[in-house]
Amino acid sequence: MAAGERAPRDRGRAGAGHRWKSHAGSWTDANERFTLFSAMIHSAGVTIGQVQVPADTHEITQVTTLLDTVSVSVPEGTRVVVTADAAHTQRETAEYLKGERGFDYILTVKANQPHLLESVFARCLPRLRDAADHIVEERGHGRVGQWQTWVTDAADIDFPRLEQVACIRRNTFTTGGSWISKEHAWIVTSGDAETTTAADVHTHVRQHGGIENKSHYTRDTTWREDAQQVYTGSGPQVMATLRNIALGLIRLKGINKIKETTEWVARDRNRALTFLAT
């Protein structure tokens, strides 16, 4: 899950999100896969909350448990925006986020909510005939990615605290301009038109997708977390917490090259003091 703060436009913005991670090498006493559910600040790439998902349930039921552990102090003039995977596009979650915590949400709608998806599609479809409200193009890996975003009011769509719906279309082209592929993302948000623009929707959705690279990829490839066979008691959660802390300390120093930094510290453990000092 991602929970993020968004400042007024002249002060910039920051975001955060939540996701779950199964630890391949760790199992519970009931011989179930050990799974953690965590919240991360988008822009900083720092994990701010983490809970273990009980073996007899799944992460969808753990949103309140996770975010109840996160104490958010919001400066005047800012607001909190929460993003999450499509599995968490649930009525109870939306009501908790906006109704109980006062957080705005930006959630993706997929086939797990067929009626909501149909309603969002029908509402957005007429807008797709018009020019996009926001367009971003990026070049990389020998291709050109173009993201077009349309936002419109939610009208009479039945979903808690819903204010707007959006569509993000990603077109992929060769550098020569030949079309390769197209995909759509359908979005619901509690943010109104004054506070949540098409650019905001695009930014938060893209940043949420970056959680995989900022957290899971690093822990799996650089630190080989799935190869760590820690079984006893709270051992897996403690080890994951320590990795989150280490990753956060590195990123708070403005460093994004985690693999190189890990190798640099490994050659002289005293260098870790660099990240512990304020």
Pinpoint the alpha helices (H) of 142-225. Answer: 198-209, 211
Residue bearing tokens 């051992």: 235
Ordered structural domains, the chain, with CATH: 2-110+192-276 (3.30.420.10)
pLDDT string in tens for the chain (278-residue length): 554 433 333 333 334 565 544 444 444 454 456 688 888 888 788 888 888 888 788 889 989 989 988 877 666 777 889 999 999 999 999 999 999 999 999 999 999 999 999 999 999 999 999 999 999 999 988 899 999 999 999 989 999 999 999 999 999 999 888 989 999 999 999 999 999 999 999 999 999 987 777 777 787 888 887 777 766 667 777 888 888 888 888 888 888 888 899 999 999 999 998 888 76
The pTM of this model reads: 0.79
DSSP SS3 for 35 = strand
Partners of residue 224 on adjacent β-strands: none
Which of 226, 222, 256 minimizes the C-alpha distance to 24? 226
Partners of residue 188 on adjacent β-strands: 107, 165
Query: At residue 197, what is the residue type?
Result: T
| Separation CA 251–CA 245 (nearest Å) | 10
